[in-house]
Amino acid sequence: MSRVPNSIIIGPLEYQVREVENLHIDAGGTYQDLNGHILSDMGEIRLNAALSPSRLRVTLLHEVLHGILFIVDGKHHEKLIIQLSHGLVDTLRRNPALVDALMEGVER
């Protein structure tokens, strides 16, 4: 069983989700290790396959929040996204009745 969904729809856009080994980005000639990365132009969310399950959940939501805010204004809000991703994952996991209420009427 996969640890993440194969795809996620954010607004009008569909993103393929992949866990990859050795996830990094070239930052001006040096490589920076990443937990996750969203590639809006390619419709892809990449997650570091070495992450623990709890860190993977936070990182996945972190990248989804980037996708949402990209649609809204195209700006990079890293500090806000870090704060929201940790808070939302914790709140949703501690309150399954909240998740049920939010999902009411949605076919799975």
**What token pair was written down for 93?**
């996991």
Give 41-95 pLDDT, tens digit per residue: 999 999 999 999 999 999 999 999 999 998 888 777 899 999 999 999 999 999 9
Q: CATH number of the domain at 7-103, please?
A: 1.10.10
Give me the residue spans of the domains in the chain.
7-103
* Residues 8 and 44 sit within 8 Å (Cβ to Cβ): no
Residue 64 CA to residue 9 CA, distance in Å, equals: 9
The reported pLDDT for the residue numbered 66 is 95
Tell me the whole-structure pTM to 2 decimals.
0.88
